[in-house]
Amino acid sequence: GQNIDQPTEMTATEGAIVQINCTYQTSGFNGLFWYQQHAGEAPTFLSYNVLDGLEEKGRFSSFLSRSKGYSYLLLKELQMKDSASYLCASMDSNYQLIWGAGTKLIIKP
């Protein structure tokens, strides 16, 4: 079956660094997406990886290892506004996004 696993909740301190892990098993693979969703709002796109390696975008970076079925989202210099849920999604061979349940990130001052 198809499955995406990510931690349910994580807590970090303002100004620190946090890494949110995601493992995936999908029928085929057309890329790994990360979205951010603030409470009561729609998900917004953060990153896309289809090749192995690290993609950096400002304070956010995303890493992919296709051989391990593994990705992580790295958030640096955490700010209070980063408190949100982070959704990992793998696109399968039918171009369908398979979503994890999301990781709720709590930032403490």
- For the chain, helix, strand, coil in percent to 5 are 5, 55, 40
**96 CB-near residues (< 8 Å, 6+ apart):** none
Contact 75, 82 (CB under 8 A): yes
Please pick, from the candidates 50, 52, 77, 106, the single residue that binds other proteins as defined by CB under 8 A. Answer: 50
Return the number of the residue (70 or 99) whose C-beta is nearest other proteins: 99
For residue 49, the minimal CB distance to other proteins (Å) is 10
Which residue stretch of 19-27, 38-46, 57-65, 69-77 sits at the interface with other proteins (rule: CB under 8 A)?
38-46
For residue 17, the minimal CB distance to other proteins (Å) is 25
For residue 31, the minimal CB distance to other proteins (Å) is 6
Residue 87 binds other proteins, judged by CB under 8 A: yes
**71 CB-near residues (< 8 Å, 6+ apart):** 21, 22, 23, 24, 32, 34, 49, 62, 63, 64, 65, 88
Binding site for other proteins (CB under 8 A): 4, 30-31, 41-45, 48, 50, 87, 89, 91, 94-102
